[in-house]
């Protein structure tokens, strides 16, 4: 017989309620989610505004006004949407937010969105509750808690559009916190930059004819040359990462320092014995922020031109995407909190893309952190979970972090 579960605090139940709202792409229930967030804001006594850059996609902004609202504010950002699931591979209903005790005695909250990234949004709110409960009426700087839609499909109707709106400019952000990743290590990862997503499509055209002949100038060899060159580059970058150190400079090499290349789609052709007129190969390329974008773009263009292949991009992000940490008061504040709570912080470049890229390119510092140490990385995976203790630690962490950041003079 399974052991009965303890009575969990209201903060845990609120997290479960948030997870149970099916904000799953491609048809997120943003209406229910928006109402839930507005109710939470009212409960916390936080004035809030709702903006829609596209119909039915609410951006909810809650505001805790500071003692000096003229100072640049602190933005606490999270996205409300989650990715789809393959329910047959889950041990629990992915939208029930059930709590299950594992063999080590930890209580796991299993649900889509636990790690990516509803834990962060709810930790913000519960941390503010804790600050209010211990008598903190105001911090020096204004704090805005921002909930945006559609991050999982690129953010065009969410943060990207919001940053171009007057309502965003009026927030007067001096810093935005955003998501990071879980880590199996006993520390918090803090992401100060991201790789740039380039989704490249190479299309080769050539002569057609019967599959039994040596037909000149066909699409296949042209595209093969491009594929081979990109996979050779991929191998070189992987070799650098495995080596762990740049031979010329001695600098340590981490995932953020290398550019990843993956062949993700191949298409073309009609049947086995017909040489196709056109073939297409698509690559997901994540360009390190330490790469010269112009030179890398020129190399890809030259590769296509040399092989008589057309190159176009589904996505090509080339704007600045790094928040420098040297002499950075926000990073110094985070380190103070980590030292106080005995939680090491490891600064790194995020391999994926988040809403931070739309904000960093405006010159606003962004740091991404998700308070999930000693956890497997399960975003977009089956049986995504965080433990109850991890979530409660996250609340405690943000309680200290929000206070520290918002009181930076």
Q: Is 294 annotated as a binding residue?
A: no
Give the integer Cα–Cα distance in Å for 393 and 15: 14
Inter-residue long-range contacts of 1-4, CB under 8 Å, 24+ positions, other chains counted: 2/101, 3/101
Please give the structure tokens belonging to residue 98. Answer: 């059930």
Query: How wide is the angle at C-alpha 194 spanned by C-alphas 189 and 195, nearest 5°?
Result: 130
Residue 213: phi and psi, rounded to 5, are -110, 155
Q: Is 255 annotated as a binding residue?
A: no
Q: Is 246 annotated as a binding residue?
A: no
Helix, strand and coil in the chain, % to nearest 5: 35, 25, 40
Strands 385-387, 188-194: parallel, antiparallel or unpaired by DSSP?
Answer: unpaired
Enter the DSSP assignment of 24: B
Q: In this structure, is the dihedral angle defined by the CA atoms of residues 386, 130, 64 and 401, taken in order, positive or negative?
A: negative
Q: In this structure, is the dihedral angle defined by the CA atoms of residues 400, 323, 350 and 258, taken in order, positive or negative?
A: negative
Residue 338: phi and psi, rounded to 5, are -60, -40
| H/E run at residue 191 | strand 188-194
Enter the DSSP assignment of 267: E
Place of tokens 């809650």: 62
Has 81 been annotated as catalytic? Answer: yes
Place of tokens 């040489």: 275
Among residues 214, 232, 207, the alpha carbon closest in space to that of 303 is found at 232
Residue 268: phi and psi, rounded to 5, are 135, 165
Has 348 been annotated as catalytic? Answer: no
| H/E run at residue 366 | strand 366-369
Q: Is 375 annotated as a binding residue?
A: no
Cβ neighbour number for residue 16 with a 10 Å cutoff: 18
Q: Is 305 annotated as a binding residue?
A: no
SS3 for 298?
A: helix
Catalytic residue among 126, 130, 151, 280: 151
Residues in the chain: 409
**Active site (catalytic) residues:** 81, 151
Which residues fall in the annotated binding site for Zn(2+)? 79, 116, 152, 179, 380
Which residues fall in the annotated binding site? 79, 116, 152, 179, 380
């Amino acid at each position: 017989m399974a052991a009965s579960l303890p009575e969990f605090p209201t903060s845990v139940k609120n997290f479960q309620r948030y997870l149970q709202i099916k904000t799953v792409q491609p048809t997120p229930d943003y209406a229910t989610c928006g109402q839930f967030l507005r109710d939470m804001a009212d409960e916390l006594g936080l004035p809030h505004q709702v903006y829609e850059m596209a119909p039915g996609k609410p951006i909810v902004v809650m505001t805790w006004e500071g003692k000096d609202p003229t100072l640049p504010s602190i933005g606490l950002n999270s996205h409300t949407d989650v990715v789809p699931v393959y329910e047959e591979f889950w041990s629990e209903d992915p939208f029930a937010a059930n709590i299950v005790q594992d063999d080590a005695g930890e209580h796991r909250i299993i649900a889509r969105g636990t790690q990516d990234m509803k834990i962060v949004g709810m930790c913000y709110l519960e941390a503010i509750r804790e600050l209010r409960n211990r008598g903190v009426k105001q911090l020096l700087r204004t704090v805005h808690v921002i909930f945006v839609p559609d991050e999982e499909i690129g953010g065009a109707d969410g943060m990207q559009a919001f940053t171009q709106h007057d309502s965003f400019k009026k927030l007067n952000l001096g810093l935005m916190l955003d998501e990071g990743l879980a880590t199996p290590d006993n520390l918090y990862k803090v992401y100060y930059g991201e790789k740039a997503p380039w989704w490249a499509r190479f299309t080769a055209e050539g002569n057609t004819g019967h599959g039994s002949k040596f037909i000149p100038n066909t699409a296949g060899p042209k595209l093969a040359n491009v594929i081979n060159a990109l996979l050779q580059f991929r191998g070189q970058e992987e070799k650098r990462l495995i080596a762990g150190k740049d031979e010329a400079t001695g600098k340590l090499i981490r995932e953020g320092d290398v550019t990843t290349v993956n062949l993700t789609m191949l298409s073309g052709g009609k049947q086995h014995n017909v040489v196709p007129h056109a073939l297409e190969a698509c690559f997901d390329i994540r360009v390190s922020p330490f790469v010269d974008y112009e030179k890398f773009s020129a190399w890809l263009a030259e590769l296509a031109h040399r092989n008589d292949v057309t190159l176009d991009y589904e996505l090509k992000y080339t704007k600045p995407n790094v928040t420098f940490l040297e002499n950075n008061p926000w990073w110094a504040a985070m380190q103070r909190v980590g030292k106080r709570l005995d939680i090491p912080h490891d600064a790194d470049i995020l391999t994926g893309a988040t809403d931070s890229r739309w904000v960093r390119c405006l010159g606003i510092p962004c740091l991404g952190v998700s308070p999930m140490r000693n956890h497997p990385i399960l975003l977009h995976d089956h049986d995504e979970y965080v433990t109850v203790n991890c979530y409660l630690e996250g609340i405690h962490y943000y309680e200290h972090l929000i206070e520290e950041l918002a009181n930076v003079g």
